[in-house]
Amino acid sequence: MNKPTPSEIATMTKEGTWPDSQEFNVLDFLLQASPDEYVPNPEKMLQVRKKQIDWVFVNKAVTKIETTGNRDGLNKKGTVVFFPEGIEYDGITIPAGTFGIIGGSHGTVISQKVGQLKKEYYLVNFKHDLDSSVLKLKRLGNKLNETFYESQGTGNDDIRNEFWSLMDIRIENGEDYKPTRTEKDDFLKDYKQISDQTLSLWISHHEEGGRRSSTIQYTQIQLDNWKVELSRMTAYKDYNILTPVVLGAWDNRALSQAVKESLDGLWQRDEDGKLDARQGKKKVLVPLWAKSATDSTSLEKGEIQKKITTRYEEWCKHIGFDAMEATYMPWK
């Protein structure tokens, strides 16, 4: 009997005919960002999508469940992969003997937020079911997203990234970077929304080498916590540290926020009537974070960092600040 392909495995999970499943505690796949806030653990959620978590969607789903009391959607099973052997996946080391979600990340977060911690998942063995192939793992993830009950779906960007991963692996193996006719036909068979012209366009736009992983989506609590962590560092003891700013607002918004918060600091005192060491100081630290795949790509190329450094130095001279520096939150 032939082994099911990743596409067939995804179909079997949709139809409820995949034979292996297991109950997990959803907290096994999450990190605690604060006493009341949990976020995805990137080492336990193996996203193939360009965006790791859509928090707007999560919050809408939670509100709907809490308002209507209808929890039927929570019974839909996600899909977990068991790794008998350790692997490298998009720059993340996955130790042997661990489990990772490949389908159902949004459902996992939603379940935690509404207090349903026990959840059933289909179980796929990376070695026996996927032949220890990262490409098959990504194909499974994309096909699961196509049938995802939360209607997030698989976009062309996710399929393109899977195709580029194939090209990356061919380069690493010393082969021609262009996929074979058989490999192209495999994509066309599984993804009806693309064509030969689509694949040709992706080949022409491929930058040789380099893994493409999901952009981390931070919650407001995580952003606030990052500011707190920076404020504890001795190197920044006399800096006014801004609340993290999205990369696309590194210029006008960051500058106005820097001036405003430094000015506000002149009027703020602690309980004893003393100024904080950072308040009113003319040294500013701007934490920046990537909100989109485009932001991540800009940071990976490295040109935007140089531009920001140059512009911040120019502004310092113009407005009389002693320092204005940028720091970057992890984006992958």
Gap between the Cα atoms of 8 and 307, Å rounded = 48
Same domain, 46 and 28: yes
- Which residue range forms the structural domain that includes residue 308? 220-328
Same domain, 170 and 81: no
CB 324 within 8 A of CB 288: no
Q: What is the pLDDT of residue 149?
A: 38
Q: What is the pLDDT of residue 124?
A: 93
Gap between the Cα atoms of 262 and 267, Å rounded = 10
Same domain, 11 and 87: yes
> What domain count does the chain have?
3
Query: What are the residues whose beta carbons fall under 8 Å from the beta carbon of 332, sequence distance 6 or more?
Result: 90, 91, 213, 214, 215, 216, 296
Same domain, 171 and 192: yes
Examine residue 1 and state whether it is found in any structural domain, yes or no. no
Tokens for 119?
A: 């959840």
Examine residue 234 and state whether it is found in any structural domain, yes or no. yes
Q: Is the pLDDT of residue 269 over 50?
A: no
Q: 117 pLDDT band (50/70/90 cuts)? A: very high
Lowest mean pLDDT among 25-29, 61-65, 279-283: 279-283
Work out the percent of the chain whose per-residue pLDDT is above 70: 85
What is the DSSP pairing of strand 98-103 with strand 78-83?
Answer: antiparallel
The dihedrals phi and psi of 44, each to the nearest 5 degrees, come to -120, -10
Work out the percent of the chain whose per-residue pLDDT is above 90: 23
Same domain, 165 and 87: no
Q: What is the pLDDT of residues 307-319, one digit of tens each?
A: 999 999 888 888 8
Q: What's the pTM value of the predicted model, to 2 decimals?
A: 0.56
Gap between the Cα atoms of 277 and 260, Å rounded = 17
Examine residue 38 and state whether it is found in any structural domain, yes or no. yes
Same domain, 289 and 198: no
Q: CA 88, 93, 98, 100 torsion: positive or negative? A: negative
Gap between the Cα atoms of 185 and 162, Å rounded = 14
Same domain, 195 and 305: no
Which of 118, 150, 182 is where one domain is finished? 150
Q: Is the pLDDT of residue 275 over 60?
A: no
Q: Is the pLDDT of residue 268 over 50?
A: no
Q: What is the pLDDT of residue 215?
A: 67
Q: What is the pLDDT of residue 51?
A: 62
Tell me what the pLDDT averaged over the chain comes to.
81
Q: What is the pLDDT of residue 61?
A: 87
CB 139 within 8 A of CB 159: no
Same domain, 64 and 109: yes
Same domain, 114 and 81: yes
What is the DSSP pairing of strand 245-246 with strand 283-289?
Answer: parallel
Q: 278 pLDDT band (50/70/90 cuts)? A: very low
Burial 49-75 (b: 16+ CB within 10 A, else e): bbbbbbbeebeebbeebeeeeeeeeee
Q: What is the pLDDT of residue 151?
A: 44
Same domain, 145 and 180: no
Lowest mean pLDDT among 45-59, 224-238, 302-316: 45-59
Examine residue 44 and state whether it is found in any structural domain, yes or no. yes
CB 51 within 8 A of CB 213: no
Gap between the Cα atoms of 311 and 299, Å rounded = 16
Q: Is the pLDDT of residue 47 over 80?
A: no
Tokens for 248?
A: 């696309």
Q: What is the pLDDT of residue 271?
A: 55
CB 223 within 8 A of CB 289: yes
Same domain, 239 and 183: no
Q: What is the pLDDT of residue 27?
A: 93
CB 198 within 8 A of CB 156: yes
The secondary structure of 99-160 as a DSSP string is EEEEE-HHHHHHHHHTT--EEEEEEEETTTTTTT-HHHHHHHHHHHHHT-TTS----HHHHH
Gap between the Cα atoms of 211 and 168, Å rounded = 8
Q: Is the pLDDT of residue 22 over 60?
A: yes
Gap between the Cα atoms of 63 and 65, Å rounded = 6
Other C-beta atoms lying within 10 Å of the C-beta of residue 38? 19
Examine residue 299 and state whether it is found in any structural domain, yes or no. yes
Same domain, 207 and 226: no
Q: 122 pLDDT band (50/70/90 cuts)? A: very high
Which of 130, 150, 170 is where one domain is finished? 150
Examine residue 81 and state whether it is found in any structural domain, yes or no. yes
Q: What is the pLDDT of residue 74?
A: 87
CA count, 13 A, side-chain hemisphere, 165: 24
Examine residue 239 and state whether it is found in any structural domain, yes or no. yes
Gap between the Cα atoms of 107 and 152, Å rounded = 11
Gap between the Cα atoms of 75 and 72, Å rounded = 6
Q: What is the pLDDT of residue 225?
A: 85
Lowest mean pLDDT among 132-141, 151-160, 250-259: 151-160
Query: What are the residues whose beta carbons fall under 8 Å from the beta carbon of 129, sequence distance 6 or more?
Result: 3, 4, 9
3-state secondary structure of 241: strand
Burial 257-273 (b: 16+ CB within 10 A, else e): bbeebbeebeeeeeeee
Q: What is the pLDDT of residue 150?
A: 39
Which of 95, 127, 150 is where one domain is finished? 150
